[in-house]
Structure 1
Amino acid sequence: MLGSVRRRLGAWIGGSWFGGGFEAGQGNRRLKSFQATRAHLNTLIAAAGPDITARARYLVRNNGYAANAIESWAGNVVGAGIKPSSLIGDPKQKAAVQKLWLAWTDDSDAEGLTDFYGQQRRAAREVFIAGEVFFRFRPRRPEDGLAVPLQLQMLPSEMLPLNRNEDLPGGNVIRQGIEFDAIGRRVAYWFLRRHPGDLTDPGMAGELTRVPAEDIIHVIDPVDAGQLRGVSRFAPAIVKLFLLDQYDDAELDRKKVAAMYALFVTTPSPGEPFDIAEDNGSGDRLMDVQPGQVVMLEPGEQIQTSAPADVGGSYEAFQYRTLLQISAALGVPYAYLSNDMLKANYSNSRLALLEFRRRIEAWQHAVMVHQLCRAVWQRWMDMAVMSSALVIPGYEKSRAIAQACSWLPPKWDWVDPMKDARAEIEQIDAGLKSRTQALAERGFDAEQVDAEIAADKAREKSLGLVFGSPPPMPATQGENQAALG
């Protein structure tokens, strides 16, 4: 008996007895079936990653909640774009850099479908769906007519095979399609030449090509130490989304079938057709019912109305709780997932937005800016100088200084912008924050905004235009004496 109790409450470790401890580590009745794997995340992704990604893509294409969640995520992470503000000290040089960058953003997509900020949005979507996305730098010829001879080619996760593992001569090793050198640095990526699921591409299936690591941007939000490849953010929500979708479809189909029947006629002699019934050609006896119609029945026949069972009062509550679990799993507020604003008020909406935006800001700076934007800006600056599209004296010696840049995410729109604007003005007046900081939080460059304001005022003055409240006129000497007297 005592031994049984000890087995439930503790364990022998290194010759010593440790009783009690963590209940989560015990093997009692409630946790006997809870056998979690000790495999590393890389092993789990290699085994289940392709299926998880395929199911996530299926849900985004076919499930309204999943589609709404991904659009909400991409819209909040990127919006109109996470835009750069060069930190070059020379105003004229900075203006030239910003102008050239703006011209190049329209040329950045190697597919020609969108601009650089559209590629940011697509990257945010892909990382949410597949856990990762790749961009390849594609240098172009001067005669291609681009503002800067450089473009970005987006490659989905499926283009880098997870099952590519190999020891190479010289000490390099390929793990899940990524080639590492002897000290663990990424030196190359082994991509498929065509998407394995695209049957419209006439290229050879399974053919690989080695791309140097300096030409690849791997955008990934790692969750475990040592993680090589991404995992979909849909992973903890896929089962509930799929089963909830099936449940909704079953309820809808049940109600549709039930609504097709209005009345049922029972007769003691089913083999004898009654006069008011008509054969529709399939052997079924049907009767059309008209408004105000009086039907004479045969002796013994009865009419019963169709009374389909309702979904019940628990249907909406069940839906709500399930969607809350899905919302928590995806990290997207319930209202953003479901578009249900009935349960939202100003206070709880603001609290949900604050928490959601903290997560968004962390993801913007740790993933989107650090991995994608900075790498693109540095390669773009190098190509712009090499192609003479930009002339920056001493660029090679002061490359890090010339490439210094701050990235401005899109501004947040609040539920009550008047209150927030007043609070921000009071913070600036009290010296708790600067105009530069306030403008940066709104996604604008302070120097550019000040230059535009100065240009607007100069133009208004030259045209004799006056907007807003006029400044107070200085009082005359007589008015001052009257006020004092």
Structure 2
Amino acid sequence: MAERTLMDRLLRRPPAEPAPAEPAPAVASERKRIRTGRRPRAEYDGATLGRRAAGWRRTRLDANGELSPAVAAALRGIARDLVRNNPFAARGASTIANNMVGTGITFQVYRDGKIDDRLNKLARRHLDTIACDASGRHDLYGLQLQAARTIVESGAVVMRRRWRRASDRLPLPFQLQVIEPDYIDPSKHGPLSTSPGVQGGFLINGVQFSPLGAREGYWLFNGHPGGGRADALGSTFVKAADVAHVFRADRPEMEHGATWFAPVILRMKDFGDFEDAQLTRQKLASAFVGVVTGEDPDGLIPGIAQEEGGPDDREPLDYIEPGTFQYARPGEDVTFSSPPGVDGYADYTKVSLRAVSAGLGVPYEALTGDLSNVNFSSGRMGWLEYQRSLAAWQWTMFIPQFCGAVSTWLIDAFAMLGENVEGVTVRWTPPGREMINPAEEVKATRDAIRSGQDTISAAARRRGEDPDTFLAEWKADAEKIDKLGLIFDCDPRRVTAVGNPAEQESSAPPAQPQGA
């Protein structure tokens, strides 16, 4: 028994050590990264960290955090400088505004789906004249064009409703004031003070919101902060009902707009510097003509004063101008450098301006006026794509925000005058688009209407006309033509599409068959 116990003691192995605990997944991943010297590769290449992804600004800020007041002011200032001094920037702002608004987005006042002639005429007496402008310079359509340019250049525009007294003798008791977004006071920011038991709202860079996030109003400077006026230092709260803040919101919850030149500012600056450098090289290359040497070492150098027996008064040639001749002494020599060429200038110009036009959302031909490489098909495709962008800007931004505010204020003015505004609405019609190939497009529109794929009203709206006004004019013209006993090819009631007389329905009852 003792031997067995000793044998068991000799054969017994030492107890095994407990296995080490498994490290946490994050720790294991970090240890693996340290051993390999590499970061884990993301499933999306764009989210990978490494040398190729260096330089990306990965921010989690919301739209208002990215577009801080300092950033917005800097972008606006640079964009305005570009529009003032860069011809392509000026052209870009003009072509967007001219095509988005043009001669004006017109309106009609309706009641229960039909034009209210009396209210419509009253509104036109006010908005179609300079009576609607607080500065007394523009009608409604001039204000629209000014607002569209400001949106592109400054990122947004602000329009205020200014109530007027009856003594001002205006058709309607209000006027419109279009101002720049600089009037919004960005220092008004943060939560509003709360009283016991009352939850307050908040401010985002001059825009005030209720606790539920409804826009309550704006803090506007009393004058333009860059105008140097003493009263411009203070700001006043203006209710949201009296303000239209129009801008393109590129992100949800975006409360201020950025200039449309933001994606192309640096590219336009680089292209401007490139043009200046090319121009300077060519000026220098064409300015220096040559160096003239003489035979007499003691002779006077033309154009340089020299005292007898004394040193000449030559000044070093530190500038040159076109047609310059530099005189030198015998033995002096000058080695001319080859004049620089302009190889690649046209290619670089086209690439740069195409990038600028893409960033602004306008066709290259509209931005530059260069139609050298455009045929009918490519021109039509580019124009149709531009029309889609224009329609999106009109119907998702300008008409709801700018024209919608005018509609509300117009109906409020009617009510203030004692008019019945029940069922009153305002419809807006953007300017029409010129046809690229009228001979074919008119024919296609006619066939679409005759086959039931289009309507006369829709075709009228595409031309920038109000359908009810168009049909009313057609009826008046037809009645006048019938009264005068005239027949024209344009009258489909009298003439067919091929020029034959149209069959007129007889007003007599159909003949009865014999024997009936």
| TM-score of the alignment, normalized to the shorter chain, above 0.5 | yes
Partner of 1:73: 96
- 1:437 matches 2:458: yes
State the Cα deviation string for residues 378-401 of structure 1 (Å, max 9, x = none): 22122123214xx44xx3xx3xx3
The 2-side partners of 1:287 and 1:195 are apart by 45
Q: Which of 469, 472, 487 does residue 451 from structure 1 map onto?
A: 472
Distance 2:298 2:430 in 1: 77
SS at match of 2:160: strand
Aligned partners of 1:264 and 1:306 also within 8 Å: no
| Structure 1 residue 226, shift from structure 2 partner | 1.5
TM-score, normalised by the number of residues in structure 1: 0.84
Residue equivalent to 2:45: 23
Residue aligning to 1:122: 146
- Measure the CA separation in 2 of the matches of 1:98 and 1:146: 16
Distance in 2, Cα, partners of 1:307 & 1:279: 29
Aligned to 1:246: 273
SS at match of 2:220: strand
RMSD: 3.1
**Deviation readout 1:7-33 (Å, 9 max, x if unpaired):** 7463xxxxxxxx651111111221133
Percentage of identical aligned residues: 29
Highest relative contact order (Cα 8 Å, sep 6+), 1 or 2? 1
| Residues 181 and 2 of structure 1: CA distance in aligned 2, closer, same or farther (over 3 Å) | closer
Residue of structure 2 in register with 1:141 after alignment: 165
Measure the CA separation in 1 of the matches of 2:501 and 2:372. 51
For 1:44, the equivalent position in structure 2 comes to: 66
Query: What do residues 398-451 of structure 1 show as CA deviations (whole Å, max 9, x unaligned)?
Result: 3xx312x33211111132222111111111111101101110111111221122
Once the two structures are TM-superposed, the CA of residue 193 in structure 1 deviates from its matched residue by 0.7
Classify the secondary structure of the residue corresponding to 1:138.
strand
The alignment status of 1:410 with 2:431, answered yes or no, reads yes
Q: Which moved more, 1:162-171 or 1:217-226?
A: 162-171
Match of 2:176 among 152, 165, 170: 152
In structure 2, give the amino acid aligned to 1:68: R
Give the whole-Å Cα distance in 2 for the aligned partners of 1:142 and 1:126. Answer: 32
TM-score w.r.t. the length of structure 2 is 0.79
| Residues 1:193 and 2:222 aligned together | yes
Indicate if the aligned counterparts of 1:220 and 1:367 stay in contact, CA closer than 8 A: yes
Cα distance, 1:466 vs structure 2: 5.2
Answering whether residue 450 of structure 2 is matched by residue 421 of structure 1, we say no
Question: Which structure has the greater CA radius of gyration?
Answer: 2
Whole-angstrom CA distance in 2 between matches of 1:409 and 1:432: 22
Aligned to 1:310: 341
- The answer (yes or no) to whether the contact 1:262–1:306 under 8 Å persists in 2 is no
SS of the residue aligned with 2:141? helix
Distance in structure 1 (CA, Å) of the matches to 2:322 and 2:411: 77
Cα distance in structure 1, aligned partners of 2:303 and 2:445: 76
* Structure 1: segments with no counterpart, 5+ residues: 11-18, 290-296, 476-485
Which amino acid counterpart does residue 79 of structure 1 have in structure 2? G
Q: Residues 264 and 305 of structure 1 are in contact (CA less than 8 Å); yes or no, is this contact kept in structure 2?
A: no
| Counterpart for residue 97 of structure 1 | 119
- Taking a change above 3 Å as real, the CA distance of residues 303 and 447 of structure 1, as seen in their structure-2 partners, is same
Q: Which residue of 2 aligns with 1:82?
A: 105
2:334 and 2:142 map into 1 onto residues whose CA distance is 63
Structure 1 residue aligned with 2:357, among 327, 335, 342? 327
Superposition pairs of residues 146-295 of structure 1, within 5 angstroms: 146-170=170-194, 171-199=200-228, 201=229, 203-265=230-292, 277-279=302-304, 283=315
Other structure's SS at 1:30 match: coil
Shift of 1:101: 2.1
| Residue equivalent to 1:15 | none
* Conserved 8 A contact 1:408-1:444: yes
Aligned residues: 447
Residue 4 of structure 1, CA deviation: 6.3
- Measure the CA separation in 2 of the matches of 1:302 and 1:274: 18
Compared CA separation, residues 461 and 181, structure 1 to 2 (3 A)? same
